[in-house]
C-alpha cells in the first residue's frame, strides 16, 4: 500500500528563496491527505503533478497564516473546477468562521459540501479513521493553539502469493487473506499460510509543525517511523526560538532521538537561512538519519 509524503512548502512565515510556506501531501493507498496549506499550495500541487481534485481530507495545524493562507484559494478553485464530492477539513474551530466570511463577502456558494471537524488543542485524541489509517492530534507548544498530526496505518490483510493463488478459485482469496483456512468441497484444506504471506508492518508518520521543545508531546510520537519536525532556527538562536515558540535544529535531532523515531524530516526554515546545509548538519550531529523536507521531495514512509 502506498504511504508517502510530498513536500510542497518548507519555509516559515514568508515565501523566500524559492521556498514556500508549509504544506505537505500525504498519499495513503492512493487517497490524498493535505497537511497544512500555506500560500501557493495550489501552484505547488500543479508543479509536482498532484491533482488537487483528488484531495479529500485537509488537516490544518494552527491559524498562523503560513499554514493556511492557501486554503481559501484551493477551496475556491475546486469549486470553479466543478467539484461536487464533499471535502473534510480538520482544524481549529475559528477556521470555519474565517472561511465562511470569505465565501460570504465574495458571494460564493460552493457546489460541494465542506465537512468541518473542529480540533481542540487541549489533549491528544483520535480525530479520523478509515480503512487505511487513523489520525491523532499531537498537542504542541506554540504561541497560539497548535496541533500536529500522527498518521498511523492500519494493520493490512495478509498478501496472496501470486504463483500459488493463481491455481485456486478467487472466491477463496478473501478468507485466506484474513488468515482463515478453507475447506474445498472434496475435503481438501487450503491453509492460509501456504497461500499468503504476512502483510507489511503498519507505519506511522508524525507531523510536528510549529512548536517549541516540550517533552509533553513526546509520548504520542514515541517510536514513530518517520517524524517531521520543524527546525525554524539553528541552536545559536535558542533564545529567539524560545521567545517565538519554535525549535532549533539541534533540538529537533534530540526529539527524534529521545522518542526513538526511525527517520527525521526537518523543515519550516527561517528566511534568514539562504542555504540549508548547516541546518541539516546541526540536526545530523544528534540524529544522523535526517533529511531536508524541501519542495518537491517525496519520502516513502
In the bound state with Zn ion, the residue whose beta carbon lies nearer, of 176 and 276, is: 276
Considering only residues 141 to 200 of the shown chain, the ones binding Zn ion according to CB under 5 A are: none
Q: Is 79 assigned to a binding site?
A: no
Nearest-approach distance from CB 133 to Zn ion, in angstroms: 25
In the bound state with Zn ion, the residue whose beta carbon lies nearer, of 66 and 132, is: 66
Pairing of strands 147-153, 133-139: antiparallel
DSSP state of 171: G
Considering only residues 45 to 104 of the shown chain, the ones binding Zn ion according to CB under 5 A are: 64, 66
Nearest-approach distance from CB 226 to Zn ion, in angstroms: 20
Q: Is 210 in the site for Zn ion (CB under 5 A)?
A: yes
Which among 167, 162, 260, 160 is positioned nearest to 206, based on CA atoms? Answer: 260
The answer to whether 66 is a known catalytic residue is yes
In the bound state with Zn ion, the residue whose beta carbon lies nearer, of 205 and 269, is: 269
Nearest-approach distance from CB 230 to Zn ion, in angstroms: 7
Q: Is 235 assigned to a binding site?
A: no
Whether 232 contacts 268, CB under 8 Å: yes
Sign of the C-alpha dihedral computed for residues 26, 32, 35 and 38 taken in this order = positive
Neighbours of 54 (CB within 10 A): 13
Angle, CA 16 vertex, CA 14 and CA 17 arms, to 5°: 165
Nearest-approach distance from CB 232 to Zn ion, in angstroms: 8
Which among 14, 73, 16, 64 is positioned nearest to 42, based on CA atoms? Answer: 73
The binding site comprises: 62, 64, 66-67, 142, 210, 268
Q: Which residues bind Zn ion (CB under 5 A)?
A: 12, 64, 66, 210
Active-site positions? 66
Amino acid at each position: 500500500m502506498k504511504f508517502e509524503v510530498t513536500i510542497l512548502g518548507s519555509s516559515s512565515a514568508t515565501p523566500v528563496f524559492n521556498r514556500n510556506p508549509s504544506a505537505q501531501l500525504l498519499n495513503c493507498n492512493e487517497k490524498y491527505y493535505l497537511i497544512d496549506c500555506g500560500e501557493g499550495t495550489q501552484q505547488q500541487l500543479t508543479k509536482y503533478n498532484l491533482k488537487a481534485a483528488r484531495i479529500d481530507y485537509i488537516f490544518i495545524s494552527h491559524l498562523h497564516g503560513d499554514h493556511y493562507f492557501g486554503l481559501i484559494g484551493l477551496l475556491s478553485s475546486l469549486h470553479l473546477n466543478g467539484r461536487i464530492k464533499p471535502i473534510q477539513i480538520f482544524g481549529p474551530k475559528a477556521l470555519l468562521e474565517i472561511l465562511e466570511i470569505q465565501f460570504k463577502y465574495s458571494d460564493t456558494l460552493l457546489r460541494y459540501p465542506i465537512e468541518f471537524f473542529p480540533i481542540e488543542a487541549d489533549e491528544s485524541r483520535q480525530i479520523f479513521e478509515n480503512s487505511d489509517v487513523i489520525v491523532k492530534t499531537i498537542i504542541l507548544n506554540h504561541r497560539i493553539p497548535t496541533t500536529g498530526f500522527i498518521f498511523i496505518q492500519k494493520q493490512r490483510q495478509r498478501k496472496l502469493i501470486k504463483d500459488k493463488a493463481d491455481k485456486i478459485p478467487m472466491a477463496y482469496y478473501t478468507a485466506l487473506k484474513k488468515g482463515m483456512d478453507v475447506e474445498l468441497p472434496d475435503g481438501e484444506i487450503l491453509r492460509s499460510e501456504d497461500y499468503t504471506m504476512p502483510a507489511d508492518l503498519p507505519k506511522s508518520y508524525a507531523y510536528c509543525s510549529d512548536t517549541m521543545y516540550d517533552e509533553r508531546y513526546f509520548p504520542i510520537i514515541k517510536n514513530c517511523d518517520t517524524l517531521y519536525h520543524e527546525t525554524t532556527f539553528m541552536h545559536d538562536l535558542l533564545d529567539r526560538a524560545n521567545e517565538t515558540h519554535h525549535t532549533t535544529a539541534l533540538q529537533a535531532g534530540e526529539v527524534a532521538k529521545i522518542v526513538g523515531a526511525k527517520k527525521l524530516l526537518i523543515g519550516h526554515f527561517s528566511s534568514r537561512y539562504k542555504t540549508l546545509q548547516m541546518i541539516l548538519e546541526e540536526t545530523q550531529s544528534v540524529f544522523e538519519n535526517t533529511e531536508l523536507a524541501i519542495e518537491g521531495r517525496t519520502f516513502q514512509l
